Amino acid sequence: MSLTPAKQRDTALHLFGQRGLVRMADLRDAGVGPETVARLVRDGIASRVARGLYELADTIPAPQRSLAEASARVPKGVICLTSALQFHELTLQMPSAVWIAINRTGWKPQVDYPPIHFVRFSDHALAGGVKRHLIEGIDVPIFEPAKSIVDCFRYRNKIGLDIALEALREGLRSGRVTPDQLWEFARRARVWSVMRPYVEAMVADGK
């Protein structure tokens, strides 16, 4: 049974109040049609953040807004590398685009906004060390700290060894990662031989 326009409006406002960012697909599933959403936008009540993604017009964005926006546009991807480090407060770097890992053979979505750097991961690398975080109502998969650091060493030629070392130092100093966690992920990724001297030196120096 379809909802009346008034009921659709109330339902949409309820979803916006609950989640912050709301996908058009979720609005449709709740019985809210595109005409109602367009009317809310015309009336200045809601605003279109990106294609198929909406919010209340007066919403104050969360600091991790871009991660939620990117994850909503690439639901099968995982936030990785510098973007994951920033989320975990392991770097001072401010990436100009969101880093997202996608399947090595999968389709790469065409995303107009936000800016995204895609990285291809194997099924095995994509499945391990993922934790899900709710950001503005969007379920965002992000690689955990130790996995993110190891991946930065894997892709050190792409993002820079200095960023990987900064994250390693801060992760060990803050206790957010342990040498054992790093070894486990690095062993699987076959980069322990690269990381080992740095890990041992920082542990020895108490950094």
* Sequence ranges of the domains in the chain: 5-56, 65-204
pLDDT on residue 207: 58
pLDDT on residue 156: 95
pLDDT on residue 59: 75
- Residue that the structure tokens 């953040």 belong to: 49
Q: Tell me the mean pLDDT per 10 residues along the chain, length 207.
A: 80 84 88 90 87 81 83 92 96 90 88 89 91 90 97 95 96 94 95 95 82
pLDDT on residue 55: 83
Kindly calculate the radius of gyration of the chain based on its CA atoms and give it in whole angstroms: 20
pLDDT on residue 2: 67
Cis geometry, peptide bond prior to residue 114 (ω within 30 degrees of 0):
yes
pLDDT on residue 147: 97
Mode of pairing for the β-strands spanning 98-103 and 78-79: antiparallel
DSSP 8-state assignment for residue 4: P
Q: Provide CB contacts within 8 A for 193, sequence distance 6+.
A: none
Write out the two tokens for 1: 């049974």
State the distance between the two ends of the chain, measured CA to CA, in whole angstroms. Answer: 62
pLDDT on residue 136: 82
Q: How far is CA 78 from CA 5, 92, 120, 150, 200, in A?
A: 37, 21, 11, 15, 29
The structure's pTM equals 0.76
Q: Provide CB contacts within 8 A for 142, sequence distance 6+.
A: 67, 78, 79, 80, 84, 87, 88, 130, 131, 132, 133, 148
